Amino acid sequence: MNLLFGTAGVPRSAKSQDTISGLRRIKELELDTMELEFVHGVRMSDDLAHQVNQTRQELGLHLTVHGPYFINLNAKEPAKVTASQQRIYDSARIGALCGAESVTFHAGFYLDSTPDKTFQNIKYNLGQITERLKKDNIKIILSPELSGKLSQFGSLEELIKLADEPNQIRLCIDFAHQHARTNGKFNTYDEFAGMLDAIKNGLGKEALTHLHIHTSGIKYSAKGEREHLELKDSDFNYKDLIKALKDYKAGGFLTCESPNLETDALLMKKEYENRR
């Protein structure tokens, strides 16, 4: 799979902010993919999802999904865990109807659990979702996201350990979050290459050919992510990231989460195409 560039949600310059207009704008801009932002809840009807899939196919585009923010697979209250599982399931089901290939979400918070206990809880609760997806024959990859804050589960190491290809679990590698959660580290070619090596060593060479990637400019503090910025307003070294992705022949979806969405997505796509 090639490396496909796109936006986190409908491009700003779309005629209207609905999903179909978003796809049409992605095509006009010569981008390749769009992430459906179900971050405030999964509200798309089955009917609309079918229309989205039809438009997507006509235009030859790809889709990914971002699940709701209100998810904690390590919540203490069983009702909160069940609701979180349902939100991921709904994102996956509607996403699959749209023809989306991967759904990312923030898996949970450590709260007062140890990292090890958090990992066990999240693995178990995620496993229940994948069983249900399999039973219902819903084919989409679940890609828990590399988190931007130290209070959130989801370091690169944790996600590599959690990934489980036969059960449709991979990961979403957010390079801006890695930069933020380390208070400014992970901003050089060698560090980006090291992250790609970690994936290759942990999950096999094949994993590099279908990555779900997030990136953007970012503002951070010692606790990690503060907010997303435009690349030009941030110290994030996207040029070296693009160079590393190209050198490693990385493929998959690169979703731009900068506030200016398509402007930075195009900036990165151009940087990628101009490198040899």
Binding footprint of Zn ion on the chain (CB under 5 A):
145
Q: How far is the CB of 105 from Zn ion (least distance, A)?
A: 7
Tell the smallest beta-carbon distance from residue 145 to Zn ion (Å): 5
Alpha-carbon distances, residue 255 vs 5, 39, 258 (angstroms) = 6, 15, 9
Q: Which residue number, 22 or 68, has a Cβ lying nearer to Zn ion?
A: 68
Query: Smaller CB distance to Zn ion: residue 55 or 67?
Result: 67
Strands 172-174 vs 211-215: parallel, antiparallel or unpaired: parallel
Q: What is the DSSP letter of 144?
A: E
Q: Name the token pair of 106.
A: 């923030």
Q: Name the residue whose CB lies closest to Zn ion.
A: 145
**H or E element at residue 226:** strand 224-229
At 68, is the secondary structure helix, strand, or coil? coil
CB-nearer residue toward Zn ion: 101 or 145: 145
Other C-beta atoms lying within 10 Å of the C-beta of residue 187: 18
Question: What is the Cα–Cα distance from 74 to 22, expressed in whole angstroms?
Answer: 34
* Residue pointed to by tokens 């609309």: 48
CA distances from 211 to 114, 117, 141, 183, 252 (A): 28, 27, 11, 24, 5
Task: Kindly tell me which of 145 and 191 has the beta carbon lying closer to Zn ion.
Answer: 145
CB of 214 to Zn ion, least distance (A): 6
| Whether the Cβ atoms of residue 7 and residue 35 lie closer than 8 Å to each other | yes
Among residues 11 and 144, whose Cβ is nearest to Zn ion? 144
Q: How far is the CB of 228 from Zn ion (least distance, A)?
A: 10
